[in-house]
A and B are shown apart, each in its own frame.
Chain A
Amino acid sequence: MADTHSVIGTKNKKGQTFTDTWKMMNEAPRTPSFYTGSEVIKEALRRASCDVMIAYPITPQSEAAALIGELFAEGYIGDYFRGESEFAVMSQCAGAAFGGARVFTTTAGPGTMRAMENFPMWSGARLPIQMIVTCRGINSPLSIQPDTLEIAYLLNTGMLVWHAETAQDFFDWILKGYMVSEEPDVHLPLALCCDGFFVTHTKDVVNLTPADMCLPPYDPYRSPVPCMDMECPPVRMMRDPFIMKSNYISYATHASWQQEVWAAVERSRKHTIKWLNGLIETENTDAEVIIVASGTAVSQGREAIRLLEDEGIRCGLVKIKVLRPWPGEEIREATKNAKHIIVPEFNVTGWLAKEIKATIPNSERVNAGPRVCGGMTMPPEIIVSEIKTLLGMRTMSLAGRGS
């Protein structure tokens, strides 16, 4: 029987030392390295003691999936293959996780949408699969460019949803993500999202933990449900499902089951705060104007804040790291002094602004934009312009805005 703690200090077949994750992430020396986001995914996975990786090629995650294939060839991954489609991939991930494996996959855009049926199933079955979502456009006409609309669809699946700003976030959160999602009181899948291309295909300096250290292996005996067993739910429920019974008992069971999944999302809060040092990060929250964003919109917000400072305008920042569980209390506290809350987003619907409006008092303070979509970039100047307009200041004319 596996015991996570008993292997600490021993070596795996690649000569890596199973290391206490807290020490590995917080105390071990870091080496600055110049990598793309895709390469960072590979380097994180090299240290993740991952049993199974399955993916299907779709831009912009294909490069990461291919690089992880190299890891498999080097012997760092237990098993690795390409599924027949994203739907097949996510089903195969479920099979591997049901069997007690630590599972990793990557997807993007239409692939995420195609596989969508699997995600509430993963949550309901309490499978702690980690899925990297390198967000891109999902709509017709086809676009492979960055766009975060697919995150909106993931928010109500019962998965944990984190949104990385940088490649450094990515490296750290892949490893920490397993620690949160594999806790027995959580034990849920994690969708670790980033903005495709901006993070995956851009080189950045990332501080890596030593390559000869790796996470302790997953211990399936801590799972809140039995490993795959055809006589027990969740497998048995598929074969002889109470969902097929129309009676009060089946409804009560289903209601409790759903409530338990969302209770587990809530319970992840305690562990996520510990590992990520909070669900949000803040700067200058005493300012009258605060930018609240997630993903690379945070980076653009930082640059806008620098430009505004040059003009003597003080602006605060809230970086939302975790979307599920939703950091409502933290956002309320961070924005309590703000007169204007600016929410820049890389999608057409403004799902983040809607979430924030539903969270805070006096939601008319929320300015749902600026928004770009379909692969457009977001120059910090348009955030600056939006803020100056709100403040009743003269702003420069921006092409395409008619101002």
Chain B
Amino acid sequence: MGICLPNPGEAHINGVIVPEEKAYEEAAKQFLMAKVPTLFPGPLVLWAWNEKAAKKATAIRHLYNTLKECVQPGQTPMLIPMPDYRPKYPKINPEVEINPNHPNLTIWHNKIDCCMFIGVHCHQANLSLKIIRGGTSCYTIAMCAQAGHEDAMLSFRDASVEKIMKLADAVKRLKGSVKPRLTSAKHGA
């Protein structure tokens, strides 16, 4: 993917720096094409440790509800939290959570073919993205509050409530205009 991260106002798609507006469209398209589009909110937005986090959580719920409204029959949006970063032994329950030390298990179990990380600390997000990229064919999106992630196939930076809402708007706008993938391959589309 390369190691050049976007500057403010930009995003990247497959390592190519693009204006942020283009990335909203592409992310929305990927969500609407996927059989199991999934949001992975992390600890930074799961716990109301400040007002901004609580507002982001509300926006993420709105994005999830928007996805559910906009997909077609046969598509199953999911919202699976990454509540903490502890390695889960002896076994993770992949139906209810994802973990940065073995995120591929959750992807495989739920046949997730497009996912977005948000509210995950950058180091743990990068661990997850590397393992998912190495072990699945899931399309990865990062809505990063800092500088973005080169290990995601599409990455925003400086995530905010407004950006999450803009992504939800893009999903709404593209509703019905994107043909979903008919099949989901083993271990991700």
Question: What residues of chain A have their CB less than 8 Å away from a CB belonging to chain B?
Answer: 1, 126, 183-185, 187, 222-226, 231-233, 236-237, 240, 242, 245, 249-250, 252-253, 256-257, 259-260, 263, 266-267, 269-270
A-B contact pairs, 10 of them (CB 8 A): A183-B147, A187-B122, A225-B121, A232-B43, A236-B86, A240-B86, A249-B87, A253-B87, A260-B126, A267-B5
Q: Tell me how far the C-beta of B1 lies from the nearest C-beta in chain A, rounded to whole angstroms.
A: 10
Residue of A nearest to B86 (CB): A236
Complex alpha-carbon distance, A224 and B124, angstroms: 8
- Residues of A with C-beta under 8 A to B86: 231-233, 236, 240
Residue of B nearest to A241 (CB): B87
Q: Tell me how far the C-beta of B93 lies from the nearest C-beta in chain A, rounded to whole angstroms.
A: 15
Residue of A nearest to B2 (CB): A266
Residue of A nearest to B146 (CB): A184
The reply to whether the CB of B50 lies closer than 8 angstroms to some CB of chain A is yes
Give the 6 A-B CB pairs with smallest separation, nearest first.
A224-B122, A184-B146, A185-B147, A224-B123, A256-B130, A253-B101
- Residues of B with C-beta under 8 A to A226: 43, 85, 121
- Residues of B with C-beta under 8 A to A223: 121
Q: Are A260 and B127 in contact (CB under 8 A)?
A: yes
Q: Tell me how far the C-beta of B156 lies from the nearest C-beta in chain A, rounded to whole angstroms.
A: 14
Count of chain A to chain B residue pairs whose CB atoms are closer than 8 Å in the complex:
87
Q: Are A185 and B122 in contact (CB under 8 A)?
A: yes
Q: Tell me how far the C-beta of A185 lies from the nearest C-beta in chain B, rounded to whole angstroms.
A: 4
Q: Are B3 and A263 in contact (CB under 8 A)?
A: yes
Q: Which of B5, B101, B122, B123 has the most CB of A within 10 A?
A: B123
Complex alpha-carbon distance, A187 and B3, angstroms: 15
Q: Are A270 and B85 in contact (CB under 8 A)?
A: no
Q: Tell me how far the C-beta of B187 lies from the nearest C-beta in chain A, rounded to whole angstroms.
A: 15
- Residues of B with C-beta under 8 A to A242: 87, 101
Q: A224-B122, A267-B3 are in contact. Are A240 and B130 (CB under 8 A)?
A: no
- Residues of B with C-beta under 8 A to A232: 43, 84-86
Residue of A nearest to B122 (CB): A224
A1, A233, A245, A266: which contacts B3 (Cβ < 8 A)?
A266
- Residues of A with C-beta under 8 A to B85: 226, 232-233, 236
- Residues of B with C-beta under 8 A to A270: 4-5
Q: A240-B86, A242-B87, A269-B3 are in contact. Are A253 and B127 (CB under 8 A)?
A: yes
Q: Tell me how far the C-beta of A240 lies from the nearest C-beta in chain B, rounded to whole angstroms.
A: 7
The reply to whether the CB of B41 lies closer than 8 angstroms to some CB of chain A is no
Q: Tell me how far the C-beta of A257 lies from the nearest C-beta in chain B, rounded to whole angstroms.
A: 6
Residue of B nearest to A271 (CB): B147
The reply to whether the CB of B102 lies closer than 8 angstroms to some CB of chain A is yes
Complex alpha-carbon distance, A259 and B129, angstroms: 12
Q: Are A126 and B123 in contact (CB under 8 A)?
A: yes
Interface residues of B in 132-154 (CB under 8 A from A): 134-135, 146-148, 150-151
Interface of B is mostly: loop
Q: How large is the interface on B (under 10, 10 to 19, 20 to 34, 35 or more residues)?
A: 20 to 34
Complex alpha-carbon distance, A260 and B100, angstroms: 13
- Residues of B with C-beta under 8 A to A225: 121-124
Q: Are B122 and A259 in contact (CB under 8 A)?
A: no
The reply to whether the CB of B131 lies closer than 8 angstroms to some CB of chain A is yes
Q: Are B124 and A185 in contact (CB under 8 A)?
A: no
Residue of B nearest to A252 (CB): B131
Interface residues of B in 75-103 (CB under 8 A from A): 84-87, 89, 100-102
Q: Tell me how far the C-beta of A155 lies from the nearest C-beta in chain B, rounded to whole angstroms.
A: 19
Q: Tell me how far the C-beta of B136 lies from the nearest C-beta in chain A, rounded to whole angstroms.
A: 12
Complex alpha-carbon distance, A187 and B50, angstroms: 23
- Residues of B with C-beta under 8 A to A183: 147
Q: Are B50 and A259 in contact (CB under 8 A)?
A: no
Complex alpha-carbon distance, A263 and B3, angstroms: 7
Q: A256-B127, A263-B3, A270-B4 are in contact. Are A184 and B122 (CB under 8 A)?
A: yes
Q: Tell me how far the C-beta of A339 lies from the nearest C-beta in chain B, rounded to whole angstroms.
A: 33
Q: Tell me how far the C-beta of B40 lies from the nearest C-beta in chain A, rounded to whole angstroms.
A: 16
- Residues of A with C-beta under 8 A to B104: 252
Q: A236-B86, A253-B127 are in contact. Are A224 and B146 (CB under 8 A)?
A: yes
- Residues of A with C-beta under 8 A to B124: 224-225, 233
- Residues of B with C-beta under 8 A to A263: 3, 126, 150-151
Complex alpha-carbon distance, A267 and B124, angstroms: 16
A1, A236, A256: which contacts B131 (Cβ < 8 A)?
A256
- Residues of B with C-beta under 8 A to A267: 3, 5, 147, 150
Q: Tell me how far the C-beta of B29 lies from the nearest C-beta in chain A, rounded to whole angstroms.
A: 26
Complex alpha-carbon distance, A183 and B148, angstroms: 12
Residue of A nearest to B92 (CB): A249
Q: Tell me how far the C-beta of A346 lies from the nearest C-beta in chain B, rounded to whole angstroms.
A: 32
Q: Are B87 and A252 in contact (CB under 8 A)?
A: no
Given contacts A226-B121, A267-B147, 13 further A-B contacts (CB under 8 A): A126-B123, A224-B121, A224-B124, A225-B121, A226-B43, A236-B86, A237-B87, A242-B87, A249-B87, A250-B87, A259-B130, A260-B126, A270-B5
- Residues of B with C-beta under 8 A to A187: 122-123
Residue of B nearest to A254 (CB): B101
Q: Tell me how far the C-beta of A36 lies from the nearest C-beta in chain B, rounded to whole angstroms.
A: 38
Complex alpha-carbon distance, A295 and B1, angstroms: 34
A1, A222, A240, A257: which contacts B127 (Cβ < 8 A)?
A257
Q: Tell me how far the C-beta of B147 lies from the nearest C-beta in chain A, rounded to whole angstroms.
A: 4
Complex alpha-carbon distance, A225 and B100, angstroms: 12
